[in-house]
Structure 1
Amino acid sequence: MPIFQLLATLVVLLQVPKRSEAQIEGRQNHGLIGYGISMYDPMCASACTSVFPQTINCMGTGDSVDDESPSNQILATCEPYLESIAWCIHEHCGDGVEQEKLESWWLSNIPGQVPGQKAPKLTYKEALSLVSKKPTETIKNGATLTQAVSVPESSYANEYEQEKVYEKVETNHSKYGLIIFITGAIAPIFISSIRFLPIPSRLMVGINSYLIDPPLFGKRHAVPLFNTGLVPTRDQAIFIGYLLIINIVLSAVGYQTAKPGTLYPTPSYQITSYISNRLGVLSFANLPLLIFFSGRNTLLVWMTDWSRSTLLLIHRWIALISTIEASLHSVLYLVLVIWETDYDAKSQLAFWYWGIIAVVAMSLIFPFSVVKIRQIQYEAFLILHIFLAILAIVGSWYHIKYRYVDERGYETWLYMAMAIWGFDRGIRALRISRFGMKRAFVTEIDSRYLRVDIPHVKCQGHAYFHIPSLTWRSWESHPFSIIPQVIEDPPTTINSTTVIESGNRVENFRPASWEKKSNIISSSRMDHWINSKVETSALTLYIKRRQGIIALLASKANLMNGIPVVIEPYNERFFSFGGLPERTTEYPNTICFVGGVGITGVLPFLTKISTADDVHGKVKLYWASRSQALVDSIADQLGSQLTNIEMSVSIGQRYDIKAVLEAELGSEIGEGTTIVVCGPASMSDEVRYHVAAFGRSGINVRLAEKSFSW
């Protein structure tokens, strides 16, 4: 099913339920409780209607009336009832509330809150005028009203206190949800801003080596633990710890109890209900936050230096927190229903089973999102992820609509989540529209790697590629680092010093000739699309063969007319996504470890720093590859784009990272060195471990990792 059909399905499913199907009636409110929505205003009047027994008879109607039933509206024609409520309001509101406000409340709330309901038979002023003094008879459950009655003062006081406490606790639900969302969204921006402070490099090295770069425990970060999930780095763990702590704390504070009344029969029931509601609201508050962290176009991308991998890791932790809170909300509510001996009736209601659908959908996302499934069956993971996420939102939407209609404002959290998602998708559409449909020419390098050339495209950094001709899953895209090129006359000089190691053999290595490059870029397959005599922008990407859509891409190699592709570009000059740090006078030296096609992730970075005139220092590249053909294919880009860089290329053998770093860093006295790594997860973890160790030993180093792990 194309993404547009999925969206259309979501829109249809989110239609407001019919009033006759809802479990309670209510008018549409906007905002959150305590922030735009007042539950009882004025409370002195609201308590008067709440304190009346749930079952009363009114002379002239002949009906027994349950105040949770739509038939409750017949009380609007019962004069003794209206007179009783009017006197109660007069007695407890007095002159503290304006007459106009009381009349407005009377019209809207006597006897129910159904939109478009019939007006009461008497206005508040008319009903009050029929009662000359305080009624002497008090209301009793099941009694038949023949005249105005009063309510016991103790009962009214209990009801007023319960409503006051209930609204205060509900306001705390909203306040704490906002705290979680706002602090979770802006804290990364403030944390990331620390890099602009004039912190001495030596102090920063210590902070990086002890508190930021190492994994929380062990030596693994990029390599999954038990092929299930990633161990966060220590700085990631600190932020995740903050999210866990603030959710736990705000789930446990801000409660009050009132004496038993019509709302809650016992204090323990009251507290259990409050905690259940709090967990439900906090779960909802985390929904827009987790979508905020998953987007490609958010403030976190534009205003922080956090990598895409970091944002997605935190996204998964927030999703876990939200799911646990939703599950606990369901369990506690089940306890309350069993407590009421009302399970059979409640479990048949629409809000009940839609809530179950939402929680089950949220819970199923996790077993289908373990690293092994994402890596081996990414396409299956993606479609399941989208489907279950939509089902969770739809289930949550109906859970609220059937339970509260629009009265409580809980759906505001869902509006926020959908707005953030829609904004990200809108920006993606704008990015895609920049280039439109292009032709991609696939070349098979060897059994491991593919090369893809796309003419008439000018961008740098990385891009997401949609290949509609290979799959019906039009929403599916894959990120790749790109090599920007300009096809023109060949360069006249190459100043790089390049060495290649093949096993134990070391030989001089010369980049491939420009003629060879021209044959690749301007082959007969592309003659229809570019003119080699005119300067033309193009981009090249190298892809390691995998299952799924990449395997389908390999089947299109060497086609004369190429295949249509859609490009979603991201320029790392403006967007972090793992962008690498600038070369500075404090860190003039750069050592880069690259594995396989990871060279494409650092090539633009190396090109920039190799041509910089303002900072002088050494730049060394250590590139390990299993494929000689890959090295030969990329050699022309290395030769034509990199100057003043020492390169070592190892075919079929990994470098001893520790030995290389000892040799390179041992001669540095005081000068800072940036260690860049872009390659397999095991290589990244090894470099991370040794850089942190060197930093703890007092060597002035900093780590920059380039990855697209998800």
Structure 2
Amino acid sequence: MDFRRLAFIVASLLLHGVQAGITSYSDGFGFVGYGIQLYQPECAWACLLCIAPPLNCTTEDMASMAPVKMGVAEGSPKLSSGDGWEVTLNSTPRCQQNNDFFLQTVAYCLKSRCADVTLRTLDKFWDTDGPFSYNGDGRDQLVRRQGYTKVLGAIRDAPTQPLNNTVLLNYTAAVPDEIYQPEYNTLRIYVSNEVTNARYGLVIFLSGIMMPIAFSLLRFLPWPASWVTRFNAYVVDPPAFGSQHSTPVWGLGIMPTRGQALFVAYLCLINIFLNAFGHEIFTPNLTHDSHFYNNVSNRSGVLSFAHLPLVFLYAGRNNTLLWLTNWSRSTFLLMHRWAALLCLLHAVLHSLLHLHMAVANLGNLVYAVDSVQPYWYCGIIAILSMSIMVLASILRQKMYELFLASHIALAVMVIVGCYYHVTLKYRLDWGFQTWLYISTAVWVFDRAARLVRCVRGGIKRAFLTPIDDDYYRLDIPGAIASGHIYLYFPTVSLWRPWENHPFSVAGVMDRSSHTPSPEHVLVEGSPDQEAKRTEQVSDNQGSHTSPKSETASRPYSPRGIGVVLFIRKRDGITSLLPKRDIGPKGLPVMVEGSYSPGVTFLQDDHVSPTHEFPNLICIAGGVGITGILPSLDSFTAVTRPVGRKKLYWGLRTMSLVHSVENMLGYDGKEALNRRWGDVDVTLSVGQRFDLRRQLEADLCSQQGGTTVVVCGAPEMADDVRRIVSGLSRHNSANGPVLVKLVVENCSW
């Protein structure tokens, strides 16, 4: 079973688990209104909650913890007490079950107010929810002394004396409308708002998944190429503001493209709309002016939780949306950061509103009580961890290794803090934990898939060959990969063996002995025997080395078929590799991969020609050539003689050119204009291309559309993006300028 089929099965099980979490009708699983029925039947709960008079309780009855009713603390009358007994408003469940007047008052209220509810339902409510555990704490649940039917049968005459919650209950009372109705209205509104909160949370979560899929499916419609080009030029490809996208703005954040900005705007607008509207308010109710604040705060908390699965999903390397859409990983990483920001903003609003209500209620008494509760400071831990993660992401490019380790630790603290925040307050009854279960399942799936990708190839040996002061070549015999991979060097950084970094696979090497033997070239050659050699390879990558130059520069040579990478020395692990004494045995390495369009389901294949887009222009900067070579190879000349392939490669020295050409089987000496098979190659050594002049000349003169692929420095990618978008908005002498832009830069 290949990895794609295994991943599909696991993803299907994951999605089935998510669906079960939404539709399950088991206790404590699902969401309010979708698997969890809250305060049902409402009339029975209203009776239970509105009957709160003082009761005469013995010292033994009061031995267990009583619920605190802060709403009646202020201005309540002074109650009597004696040796072994006391009259109290905070009666315990044991006291309530031993008080016949209280039991009969609750039972008669159920009968009179719940006339349309079946006796079986009322019996179940009596046995599971009331009247002794009205505070929702199952720890106070006691063995029932009398059932609902027996208590109701003990009432001989219908009670006429109304309930007074400030007077000792020493009679069977009738609950008047002025006491019952506000409680019922408040409860009904609360349940309705909680159902709406869950529904809006599902809207956020499901739309965050379905919208990318829906937009991606639009590409299968038969749109005219000129329409697609103009739409991309105006709506999709350019930066939302300014001229920078790949280059961080002020070195901090990434400016989204216009297409990405549309999805970001959708997320922001729908969050504002869903939090501002849909709050049901009805009077009379018991919460008065704090009712709206409580609704908005609860809504913000649910929407914050609903963003957590999206935050984890968008960040994953094995994001199932990468397999179901044509969106790039860099786009999903950008969405990950915006979803995290929205998640944080909702959490902050939730916290501030609850803090305001706690401080304002009963002269700061509620805050004094709640602020020492475990659920309160668990929430503080979660929101502080979330805030640190969002703020630290601004500096991720300057301290990536530290950022990555702290990011994982803080993410765990967020999930754990959120779990105990809602569990200690609501147990499992409200289903808020379901959002955390989904988030954890997404995270576990991604990590498990990474582990499978990594360990299935075992530990390989990497061999390093210096090219010049800036670049070196890395050969990994026995590795099978394409596209890009993540490498682990457990012996290079002993304190961080889990550290890994992405690299693009340049080609395939075949060294069966210490003397290299040519096998095939990477890119397609001329129509004759060179093309025939290329067609014989099973993959779209290969190598062809020059024995003379290779043996002269390499003190040792790895054996077997494997992959070739070209790496530029930077800070971090790439600067440590040349300092290691690798020796003839090589360096232990684990390969996680491949990550490429070939392992997806609905993704487009890699860059390939069509009758509308027969031409290819590739622009590479330095070691960015490794991200370009697969495009050159997969863009086969089925459109010949119309289609043309060009490569513009800017770099600092010729050393890297010679090393890459050794792998490909070409030797253009020192010429700046050369030819790799059917690819016209133009080099620029030590200076920048005039990209505008080159692209304008090529795009406006070629017959048919052109696919432009760029991989290199962020500044160069932004220049190409700006130039291509500008040119494709206008017509040339040959008609509309048809262009597809592909940026191969790895953004994080």
TM-score w.r.t. the length of structure 1 is: 0.88
Find the residue that maps to 2:590 and give its secondary structure: strand
What letter corresponds to residue 412 of structure 2 in structure 1? I
Q: Which amino acid aligns with 2:711?
A: C
Code of the aligned partner of 2:119: Q
1:445 maps onto 2:467 in alignment? yes
Q: Say which of 578, 597, 622 aligns to 2:623.
A: 597
Is the 1:589–1:674 Cα contact (8 Å) retained in structure 2?
yes
Equivalent position SS for 1:375: coil
Determine whether 1:490 maps to 2:505.
no
1:654 aligns with 2:681: no
Provide the C-alpha distance between the structure 2 equivalents of 1:593 and 1:49, rounded to a whole number of angstroms: 73
Please tell me whether the aligned partners of residues 279 and 326 of structure 1 are also in contact (alpha carbons under 8 angstroms).
yes
| Mapping for residues 210-609 of structure 1, pairs under 5 Å | 210-262=234-286, 264=287, 266=288, 268-340=289-361, 341=364, 342-370=366-394, 373-471=395-493, 472-487=495-510, 489-490=517-518, 514-516=546-548, 519=551, 524=556, 526=558, 530=559, 536-556=560-580, 558-569=582-593, 570-575=595-600, 580-609=606-635
CA 260–557 in structure 1, closer or farther in 2 if over 3 Å, else same: farther
Partner in structure 2 of residue 674 of structure 1: 707
SS at match of 1:435: coil
Secondary structure of 1:148's partner? coil
The residue type equivalent to 2:308 in the other structure is L
Equivalent of residue 743 in structure 2, options 686, 691, 705: 705
2:10 corresponding residue in structure 1 = none
Which amino acid is 1:686 matched to?
A: D
1:58 partner letter: N
Aligned to 2:54: 56
SS at match of 2:597: coil
**Residues 295 and 516 (structure 1), Cα distance of their counterparts in 2 relative to 1, 3 Å cut:** farther
Q: In structure 2, give the amino acid aligned to 1:587.
A: F
Q: Does the CA contact (< 8 Å) of 2:520 and 2:665 recur in 1?
A: no
* RMSD of aligned residue pairs (Cα, Å): 2.5
Structure 1 residues 380 and 577, CA, compared in 2 at 3 Å: closer, same or farther? Answer: farther
Q: Which amino acid aligns with 2:705?
A: G
Quickly say closer, same or farther: Cα 1:302–1:260, change in 2 above 3 A: same
Q: Partner amino acid for 1:607? A: D
Question: Following TM superposition, by how much is the alpha carbon of 1:474 offset from its aligned partner in structure 2, in angstroms?
Answer: 3.4
Q: What displacement does 1:660 show? A: 0.4
Mapped partners of 2:100, 2:254: distance in 1: 68
Task: Decide whether the 8 Å contact of 1:444 with 1:557 is kept in 2.
Answer: no
Whole-Å Cα distance in 2 between the matches of residues 70 and 449 of structure 1? 78
Q: Cα 1:274–1:492, aligned 2, differ >3 Å: closer, same or farther?
A: closer
2:106 aligns with 85
What do residues 546-582 of structure 1 show as CA deviations (whole Å, max 9, x unaligned)?
A: 1122222221265221111111112432349997432
Segments of structure 1 that go 5 or more residues without pairing to the other structure are 1-26, 498-510, 531-535
* AA of the residue aligned to 1:353: Y
User: How far does the alpha carbon of each residue in 1:117-142 deviate from its partner, in whole angstroms, 9 at most, with x for none?
Assistant: 22221100010001123212222224
SS where residue 250 of structure 1 aligns?
A: helix
C-alpha displacement of 1:450: 2.2
Output aligned runs, 1:629-644, within 5 Å.
629-639=655-665, 643-644=677-678
Structure-1 separation of matches of 2:664 and 2:647: 11
CA deviations over 1:345-392 (Å, ceiling 9, x no partner): 21111111111111111111122111xx32232101111211222222
Q: Distance in 1 between matches of 2:636 and 2:551?
A: 27
**Which SS does the other structure have where 1:696 is aligned?**
coil
Please give the per-residue CA displacement for 1:191-250, whole angstroms capped at 9, x wherever unaligned.
Answer: 111221110011111101100010001111111111110110000000000000010000
SS for the counterpart of 2:149 is helix
Do the aligned residues in 2 keep the contact of 1:459 with 1:484 (CA within 8 Å)? no
Counterparts of 1:538 and 1:595, CA distance in 2: 25
Rounded to whole Å, the distance in 2 between the matches of 1:644 and 1:219 is: 34
The 3 A distance-change label for structure 1 pair 625 and 339 is: same
Cα deviation for residue 261 of structure 1 reads 4.0
Q: Is the contact made by 2:608 and 2:636 (CA closer than 8 Å) also made in structure 1?
A: no
Aligned partner of 2:121 in structure 1 is: 101
TM-superposed deviation, 1:611: 5.5
Amino acid at match of 1:376: K
Partner AA of 1:553 in structure 2? L
**How far off its partner does 1:431 sit?**
1.0
Question: Residue in 1 aligned with 2:164?
Answer: 140
Write the letter of the residue equivalent to 2:679: I
Deviations 1:292-334 (A, max 9, x none): 1111112211011111111101100010011011001111111
What's 2:728 paired with? 695
Distance in structure 2 (CA, Å) of the matches to 1:332 and 1:30: 27
- Structure of higher RCO (CA pairs closer than 8 Å, 6+ residues apart): 1
Alpha-carbon separation, structure 2, partners of 1:43 and 1:165: 10
Asked if structure 1 preserves the Cα contact closer than 8 Å seen for 2:616 and 2:707, the reply is yes
CA contact (8 A) 1:441 1:557 kept: no
* C-alpha spacing 1:492/1:386, structure 2 compared with 1 (3 Å): closer
In the alignment, structure 1 residue 74 sits paired with structure 2 residue 95: yes
Partners in 2 of 1:557 and 1:213 — Cα distance?
Answer: 45
SS, match of residue 249 in structure 2: coil
Count of equivalent residues = 655
Against the structure 1 CA distance between its residues 520 and 44, is the aligned structure 2 distance closer, same or farther, given a 3 Å change threshold? Answer: farther
Per-residue deviation, residues 242-287 of structure 1 (Å, max 9, x unmatched): 000010000011111122444x1x1x21011000000010000001
Contact 1:79-1:122 at 8 Å conserved across structures: no
Give secondary structure in 1 for the equivalent of 2:599: coil
1:444 is displaced (CA, Å) by 2.1
Q: Which structure 2 residue ranges, 5 or more long, are not aligned? A: 1-25, 70-89, 512-516, 527-542, 667-674, 732-736
* Contact 1:512–1:632 under 8 Å retained in 2: no
Provide the residue aligned with 1:500 in structure 2.
none
Measure the CA separation in 2 of the matches of 1:130 and 1:409.
38
Percent identity between the two aligned chains: 37
Determine the C-alpha separation between the residues in 2 that align with 1:675 and 1:290: 31
Query: Which amino acid in the other structure matches residue 56 of structure 1?
Result: P
Aligned ranges 1:119-138 → 2 under 5 Å: 119-138=143-162
SS class of match (2:54): strand
Per the normalisation by structure 2, the TM-score is 0.83
| Distance in 2 between residues matched to 1:609 and 1:47, nearest whole Å | 70
2 CA distance for matches of 1:155 and 1:181?
40
Identify if the C-alpha distance between structure 1 residues 615 and 346 changes in structure 2 by more than 3 Å, giving closer, same or farther: farther
Instruction: State the partner residue of 1:44.
Output: 43
The yes-or-no answer on 1:623 pairing with 2:649 is yes
**What is the rounded CA distance, in whole Å, between the counterparts of 1:93 and 1:495 in structure 2?**
80
Give, as a single letter, the amino acid of the residue that structure 1 aligns with 2:446: D
Residues 60-83 of structure 1, C-alpha deviation per residue, up to 9 Å, x if partnerless?
678686466793343122221111
C-alpha separation between the residues in 2 aligned to 1:490 and 1:444? 21
- Counterparts of 1:213 and 1:189, CA distance in 2: 19
> Cα distance, 1:38 vs. partner?
1.2
The 8 Å contact of residues 76 and 119 in structure 1, kept in 2 or not, is answered as no
8 Å contact kept, 2:239–2:258: yes
SS in 2 for 1:29: coil
Q: How far is 1:146 from its partner? A: 2.2
Q: Distance in 2 between matches of 1:520 and 1:173?
A: 70
Whole-angstrom CA distance in 1 between matches of 2:42 and 2:618: 68
Q: Provide the rounded CA distance (Å) in 1 between the counterparts of 2:612 and 2:637.
A: 18
Deviation (angstroms), 1:638: 3.6
- 1:201 to 1:613, Cα distance in 2 relative to 1, 3 A: closer
